[in-house]
Amino acid sequence: MKVLVTGATGFIGRHVVPSLLKGGHVVIAVARDERKAREFAWFKSVRFVPCDVHRCLDQPFRMFGHPEAAVHLAWPGLPNYGSLFHFEEALPADYRFLKSLVETGLGHLLVTGTCLEYGMQSGALTEDMLTAPVNSYALAKDTLRKSLELLRQQLPFTLQWARLFYMYGQGQHPSSLLAQLDRAIESGERTFNMSGGKQLRDYLPVEDVAKRLVSLLEHPDCNGAINICSGEPISVRSLVERRLAEREGDVQLNLGYYPYPDYEPMAFWGVCDKFLSIGR
């Protein structure tokens, strides 16, 4: 399959591209910075197009070589989830880009969403639950999904909305929890400041997330909203302690230094039966 990947050099994209190549797919990789793309081993195995997708509205389907499917990962402005930029600027630009792709011939679209679309709902989260976003980023993503679903009524295409939970691994944002912990270990810090760590979350290694996205793309009958998650809650404190043990880090946890986030419930995780059904 010829697959367009936007955000190819991002945290997820850098892992999705080699996973697609391993599966025998032809990849058109898109990102804004070609110099960054050249640092990856996969660069010479793809057709790379340096582009800001929010600015390439002139026949993008033809511009990218008539791909059969697209994995849309690009989204600017993160991790500032509360910025109105997501709703006021990123959302309309993203919708225009995706609509233009579909209008000019793309038949299969996989877009990444976020578990934050569920808002303050607690416990096990299933795809059939109503969404209730409470920050600008989640509202923008949820509105994009609903807009694309309306578009499908006029322009039939396959829509897979991959709702991501929490991830860690190579390329993660420097401000993410485990990235900060790794720096503390490497710099010989004696303590690590964090929240109380009692919140329950759903984590997957980013390599597993990438593999699941590729598997989902290869099963277009599994469509609509799909949770991409482990299905197993873990406390943030346990996650950090496990990382310390793996790294043999001698760092004391300063629990309770930061307050718990006010845009997330204390305990939630995903139900991934829908995704797992494609492998049964």
Task: Locate 180 and state its tokens.
Answer: 């900060």
pTM: 0.94
Burial degree of 171 (CB within 10 A; 0-12, 13-18, 19+): middle
Burial degree of 46 (CB within 10 A; 0-12, 13-18, 19+): buried
CB within 8 Å of 44: residues ≥ 6 apart: none
The yes-or-no verdict on residue 59 having pLDDT over 90 is: no
pLDDT of residue 94: 96
The yes-or-no verdict on residue 277 having pLDDT over 60 is: yes
Delineate the domains of the chain, giving CATH numbers in brackets. 2-167+203-230+271-279 (3.40.50.720), 173-200+232-269 (3.90.25.10)
Mean per-residue pLDDT, 191-217? 97
Mean per-residue pLDDT, 121-141? 97
Max CA pair span of the chain: 59
- The rounded distance, in Å, linking the Cα atoms of 149 and 134 is 21
- The rounded distance, in Å, linking the Cα atoms of 69 and 72 is 10
The mean pLDDT of the chain is 95
Mind listing the pLDDT tens digit for each residue in 71-105?
999 999 988 999 999 999 999 999 999 999 999 99
